């Protein structure tokens, strides 16, 4: 029985490594994956196999920690893992293809499944160490001893991490693509709101106050600081006057970009409410929030634009904090374009109709359609100072 146990342990370790490599390869090749398998099978299978993995991890942990250590019981758990649970988990993950579930969802599933296998591998290594210790004790004719606290802690920690991986997979499989997209959009919304909050709190005058404090810190450094100040635009009365102009320009620009960014932030909850949660995105034949295949390209474009906005805002804010208005304007313009593309992309409902045997977007309109037109007009109005600043830079 001991020999059988070690063969099963080594098999589980080998399968965990092999399946991790398989999932990693699939992640790397996802851009070239043109398969179109899509049905209600992969997500329920993923949920079921993740649930089974969590249950078997629990059994394996308890059997290892508690005395007496029973090789036959451990073998039963390992056999189930090797024969059905792990193959089912990997099969489900691989069936969730990027063309049918979006690249982002596909990649997320593969990463999470790979992480679950990695945590299982760590746990099985701990079990193997305990098995080797128990086997050695038995060969020496000694009585079996309880595990050391450190050994129990290692097993418990590995078990907890494996549980977390399984729980995340189960939750993601249950919410499906729509739930995943909603979660991501809300995360990007929070990033935008945080960036706006930081900008609102930032005071351009503090930059010059800090500079004055620096002058007072050390007479030894005054000449060096003054030299640098002269390089940047003057020192003394003329420099003070320039500082006042610069601070005023930063205040004005800060006010302008906040007027732009606040309506940009509004698109996230509006899109979630009117186009993701209640906008007909979920295929009518599915109960697991799987969008119709014709919606996938639009979803990909939507996520790309919404994800880019907080990145551009961060870059714009960083440039502003360094008094680089030109660079900040460029990133604000990019954020505006991404926001406008996202809004226009979903101007009409998700509904599609058959035209000459092909599915095309319906020409119906709803309240979001009207809102999108109003939003674009508002953006045109609040964005004029930014546009003027950009054009002025281009003519210089």
pLDDT score for 395: 52
Paired with 291 in beta bridges are: 282
SS3 track for the chain = CHHHHHHHHHHHHHHHHHHHHHHHHHHHCHHHCCCCCCCCCHHHHHHHHHHHHHHHHHHHHHHHHCCCCCHHHHHHHHHHHHHHHHHHHHHHHHHCCHHHHCHHHHHHHHHHHHHHHHHHHHHHHHHHHHHHHHHHHHHCCCCCCCCCHHHHHHHHHHHHHHHHHHHHHHHHHHHHHHHHHHHHHHHHHHHHHHHHHHHHHCCHHHHHHHHHHHHHHCHHHHHHHHHHHHHHHCCCHHHHHHHHHHHHHHHHHHHHHHHHHHHHHHHHHHHHHHHHHCCCCECCCCCCCCECHHHHHHHHHHHHHHHHHHHHHHHHHHHHHCCCHHHHHHHHHHHHHHHHHHHHHCCCCCCEEEECCEEEECCCCCHHHHHHHHHHHHHHHHCHHHHHHHHHHHHC
> pTM, whole model, 2 decimals?
0.80
Encoded tokens for 316: 């714009």
CB atoms within 10 A of CB 84: 13
Give bridge partners of residue 282 from the DSSP assignment: 291
List the structure tokens of 66: 């508690």
pLDDT (0 to 100) of residue 265: 97
* Selection from 139, 146, 14, 127 nearest residue 71 by Cα: 127
pLDDT for 53: 97
Q: Which residue stretches of the chain have pLDDT < 70?
A: 1, 26-40, 207-245, 279-280, 282-289, 352-363, 387, 389-396
Instruction: State the Cα–Cα distance between residues 116 and 230, nearest whole angstrom.
Output: 59
Q: How many Cα atoms occupy the beta-carbon half-sphere of 312 within 13 Å?
A: 21
- Report pLDDT for 28: 55
Q: How many angstroms separate the CA atoms of 140 and 52, rounded?
A: 37
Please report the pLDDT score of residue 244 as a whole number. 56
Alpha-carbon distance of 265 to 306, in angstroms, equals 10
CATH class of 2-176: mainly alpha
Q: Which long-range contacts (CB under 8 A, 24 or more apart) does 13-16 make?
A: 13/121, 13/124, 13/125, 13/128, 15/82, 15/86, 16/86, 16/117, 16/118, 16/120, 16/121, 16/124
Asked if 309 and 193 count as a contact pair (C-beta separation under 8 A), the reply is no
Which residues have C-beta within 8 Å of that of residue 352, sequence separation ≥ 6?
A: 292, 294, 359, 360, 361, 362
Q: What is the pLDDT of residues 140-153, one digit of tens each?
A: 778 777 888 999 99
- Domain chopping of the chain, boundaries: 2-176, 236-395
* Distance of alpha carbon 108 from alpha carbon 391, whole angstroms: 41
Give the model's pLDDT for residue 11. 95
pLDDT in tens, 244-280: 567 888 888 999 999 999 999 999 999 999 999 876 6
Tokens of 378: 């508002």
Q: Is the CB of residue 371 less than 8 Å from the CB of residue 275?
A: no
């Amino acid at each position: 029985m001991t020999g059988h146990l070690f063969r099963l342990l080594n098999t589980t370790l080998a399968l965990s490594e092999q399946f991790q490599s398989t999932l990693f390869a699939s992640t790397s090749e996802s851009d070239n994956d043109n398969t179109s398998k899509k049905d209600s099978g992969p997500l329920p299978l993923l949920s079921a196999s993740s649930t089974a993995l969590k249950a078997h991890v629990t059994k394996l942990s308890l059997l290892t920690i508690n005395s007496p250590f029973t090789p036959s019981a451990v073998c039963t758990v390992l056999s189930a893992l090797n024969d059905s649970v792990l193959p089912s988990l990997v099969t489900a993950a691989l069936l969730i293809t990027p063309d049918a579930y979006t690249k982002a969802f596909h990649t997320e599933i593969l990463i999470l499944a790979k992480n679950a296998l990695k945590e299982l591998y760590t746990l099985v290594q701990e079990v193997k160490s305990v098995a080797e210790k128990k086997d050695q004790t038995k060969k020496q004719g000694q009585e079996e001893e309880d595990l050391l606290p450190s050994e129990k802690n290692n097993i418990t920690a590995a078990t907890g991490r494996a549980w977390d991986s399984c729980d995340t997979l189960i939750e993601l499989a249950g919410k499906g693509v729509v739930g995943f997209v909603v979660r991501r959009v809300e995360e990007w919304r929070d990033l935008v709101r945080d960036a706006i909050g930081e900008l609102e709190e930032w005071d351009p005058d503090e930059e010059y106050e800090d500079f004055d404090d620096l002058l007072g810190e050390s007479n030894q450094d005054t000449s060096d600081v003054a030299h640098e100040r002269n390089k940047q635009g003057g020192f003394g009365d003329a420099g003070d006057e320039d500082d006042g102009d610069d601070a005023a320009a930063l205040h004005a620009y800060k006010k302008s970009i906040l007027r732009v960014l606040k309506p940009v932030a509004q698109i996230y909850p509006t899109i979630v409410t009117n186009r993701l949660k209640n906008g007909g995105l979920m295929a009518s034949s599915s109960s697991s929030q799987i969008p119709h295949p014709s919606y996938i390209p639009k979803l990909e474009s939507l996520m790309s634009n919404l994800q880019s906005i907080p990145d551009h805002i961060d870059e714009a804010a960083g440039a502003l904090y360094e008094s680089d208005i030109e660079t900040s304007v460029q990133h604000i313009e990019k954020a505006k374009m991404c926001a406008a593309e996202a809004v226009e992309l979903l101007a009409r409902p998700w509904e599609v109709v058959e035209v000459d045997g092909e599915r095309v977007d319906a020409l119906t309109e709803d309240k979001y359609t009207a809102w999108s037109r109003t939003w674009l007009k508002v953006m045109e109005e609040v964005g004029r100072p930014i546009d003027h600043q950009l054009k002025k830079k281009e003519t210089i």
